[in-house]
Amino acid sequence: MDTPPLYRQLAAHYLDAIRAGALQPGDKLPSLRSLMRQHNISLSTALQLCRNMESEGWVEARDRSGYFVKRPRRLAIAAMDEPATDVAPDPAQYVGIHSKVSDFVARRRQGEVRIDFSSARGAPELYPGEALRASMMRLLRQKPALLTTATPSRSLNPLREAAARRGLRVGMTLSPQEVLTTNGCIEALNLALRAVAQPGDTVAVESPTFYGLLQVLESLGMRALEIPTSPQTGLSIEALEMALGAYDNIKAVVTVPHLQNPLGSVMPDAHKERLVALCERHGIALIEDDTYSELLDTDTPPRAIKSWDRTGNVIHCASLHKILAPGMRLGWISAGRWQSRVEMLKFTQSRSNEELSQGAVGDYMNTGDYDRHLRRLRERLRQQREQTADAIAAHFPAGTRLNYPPGGLQLWVELPDRLSSMTVFDRALRERIFVAPGTLFSNSSRFDHYLRINCGWPITEPIQAALRRLGEIVGECAAVQRKAA
């Protein structure tokens, strides 16, 4: 890893001091002269240090008196309430989630979107494109017949090996043979659901959840039963237990334990353990979507749910789309006691994935560069999340709430006065700003006054301006709503 410039090293030092509380909001940074003396640096380096900390929102300059530690604006914004879990969840109905989503996609296509906050994607520059490309070229040189040789099914390759080996870090002991490569996590989820349930069956999901999952269920003719989910701790085990008592055709639960999409919640280990036991007791499959774990702000990744699995009842799905290579469709699945059924379904659905991409990416993952990339990625996403949250705190009207997650590339925002996110969506689209309205994240209308805001892109001036404008739009819409009431 390259050594960062001196002013950045010093900025990190002062940031640590702020985080640790040694420097409190309102405290003054040392003067330029003290900084120069203390760290033996030039005036220009001292200035760079202060300006960097200012531009990242940690300190503010006050005329002639120096730089002062700011209270991060995002800390001023209220957190969300916990959902009620003591009510039986309403039975899920088919509501045509796909037609909802298609409608948004179609509206978007009517004009050119200028700023897109709607996706859950990282900017290309956050990922090691050059290293992946080099790895691929190397493999193409080493194995000239790779593109013209049919991939034998079940053959091992560096990706399956890397995924199995990294599984050890989160408590899963899987052989590479038990890790089946798929076309992204979405194919893994399709296979998992097809393996454990039939059309007409019910599948318990988190509420809210990402519309991709609701679309899969709809396309497979399965019914989604939405379980209340905490912005902090994820899926409510109590509510799930109640649902399992109330409905007898639930065949599976799908959960995103770490950095749930869209909430950003993280399930505590104790919940994971209870969830595994609960699903086993009821004989329903537990499908773990582990797409985001590597984006958690920690160098010690949390245990996978599957690490508590003793009976093969947990199906683990993951992907590289958010963490390593957005331009490649590589995911994998370890399906426990459904492994051979999943292998069959994968074979009949799309055959084995190509060797080339698996080899190139797997080779990279088997170097130390991969962990260095992940650390850098987490740090950059952390900065982007902080800046986005600060902008929301600064520009959105009072009453806005925010769930500030410990990782990942999106924020979940609750609008004030139960303001319709569709109104905001339509209004923002006129200015070519695209957001994901909460209505997409449920078959119910429970989240119609929420927005999901992507912060996977570096916070440039146009993005700052768009966040400011979005806040104004929310304010204007709220004012119109109040007048109408």
Q: Which is nearer to a copy of itself, 329 or 382 (CB)?
A: 329
Give me the least distance between CB of 184 and a copy of itself, in Å please. 6
Residue 307 has φ and ψ, to the nearest 5°, of -70, -15
The answer to whether the beta carbons of residues 372 and 140 sit under 8 Å apart is no
Structure tokens at 479: 């004012």
Structure tokens at 119: 């996706």
Give me the least distance between CB of 344 and a copy of itself, in Å please. 6
Q: Which is nearer to a copy of itself, 91 or 129 (CB)?
A: 129
115-116/314-319 β-pairing: unpaired
- C-alpha closest to that of 467 among 440, 420, 431, 419: 431
Give me the least distance between CB of 14 and a copy of itself, in Å please. 32
Q: Which is nearer to a copy of itself, 55 or 349 (CB)?
A: 349
Give me the least distance between CB of 140 and a copy of itself, in Å please. 5
Burial of 112 (0-12, 13-18, 19+ CB in 10 A): exposed
Give me the least distance between CB of 122 and a copy of itself, in Å please. 9
If DSSP codes are grouped into helix, strand and coil, which group holds residue 364? helix
Whose tokens are 């949390």? That residue is: 302
How far, in Å, CA of 88 to CA of 5, rounded?
Answer: 56
Q: Which is nearer to a copy of itself, 189 or 276 (CB)?
A: 189
Q: Which residues bind a copy of itself (CB under 8 A)?
A: 98, 102, 119, 121, 124-130, 132-133, 136-137, 140, 144-151, 182-184, 186-187, 190, 194, 198-199, 212, 215-216, 218-219, 221, 321, 325-329, 344-345, 347-357
If DSSP codes are grouped into helix, strand and coil, which group holds residue 203? strand
How far, in Å, CA of 191 to CA of 220, rounded?
Answer: 11
Q: Which is nearer to a copy of itself, 21 or 199 (CB)?
A: 199
The answer to whether the beta carbons of residues 69 and 24 sit under 8 Å apart is yes
Q: Which is nearer to a copy of itself, 289 or 309 (CB)?
A: 289
Give me the least distance between CB of 91 and a copy of itself, in Å please. 22
